[in-house]
Chain A
Amino acid sequence: MGVDIRIEHLTKSFGKQLIWGDVTLTVPAGEICVMLGPSGTGKSVLLKTLIGLLKPDAGSVVIEGTDICSCSEKDLYEIRKLFGVLFQDGAMFGSMNLYDNVAFPLREHTRKSESEIRNIVMEKMDLVGLIGAEDKLPGEISGGMRKRAGLARALVLDPEIVLFDEPDSGLDPVRTAFLNQLIVDLNAQIDATFLIVTHDINTARTVPDNIGLLYHKHLAMFGPREMLLSSEEPVVRQFLNAQRVGPIGMSEEKDADQLAAEKDMDLPPLPPIAMQLEPSNGIPRRSQRAPGEWCRLNGITPPPGSFQPDSVLAGGARA
Chain B
Amino acid sequence: MSSLTAARALKPVGTVGNFFAFGLDVARGLFQRPFQFREFIQQAWFIASVTIIPTALVAIPFGAVIALQVGGLIKQFGAQSFVGSASVLAVVREAGPIATALLIAGAGGSAIAADLGARKIREELDAMMVLGIDPIQRLVVPRVLACMLVSVFLNGLVSVVGVAGGYVFNVLLQGGTPGSYLASFTALAQLPDVWQGLAKALVFGMIAAIVAAYMGMNAGGGPKGVGDAVNQSVVVTFMLLFVVNFVMSAIYFQLVPSKTG
Contacts and interface: CB of A to CB of B under 8 A. Distances in A.
For chain B, what secondary structure do more than half of its interface residues adopt (helix, strand, loop), or is it mixed?
helix
Interface in B81-137: 118-119, 122-124, 126-134
| Chain A, interface residues (CB within 8 Å), range | 20 to 34
Interface stretch (A77-85, A115-123, A173-181): A77-85
A94 B119 contact: yes
A109 B132 CA distance: 8
B126 A48 contact: yes
A105 B124 contact: no
A91 B123 contact: yes
Contacts of A239: none
Contacts of A78: 132
Contact of B131 (A48, A89, A94, A104): A104
A76 to B, nearest CB: 9
B123 A51 contact: no
B122 A105 contact: no
Contact of A94 (B122, B126, B130, B132): B122
Contact of B124 (A80, A85, A94): A94
- In this complex, the member of B128, B131, B132 whose beta carbon has the largest number of chain A beta carbons within 10 angstroms is B131
B134 A91 contact: no
Contacts of A153: 127, 131
A157 B132 CA distance: 11
A296 B49 CA distance: 70
Given A53-B129, A53-B130, A108-B133, 15 more contacts: A48-B126, A51-B130, A77-B133, A87-B123, A89-B122, A91-B122, A91-B126, A93-B119, A93-B127, A94-B118, A94-B122, A94-B124, A104-B131, A105-B131, A109-B132
Interface of A: 48, 51, 53, 77-78, 80-81, 83, 85, 87-89, 91-94, 104-105, 108-109, 150, 153, 157
In order of increasing CB-CB distance, the 4 nearest A-B pairs are: A91-B127, A91-B123, A85-B130, A87-B123
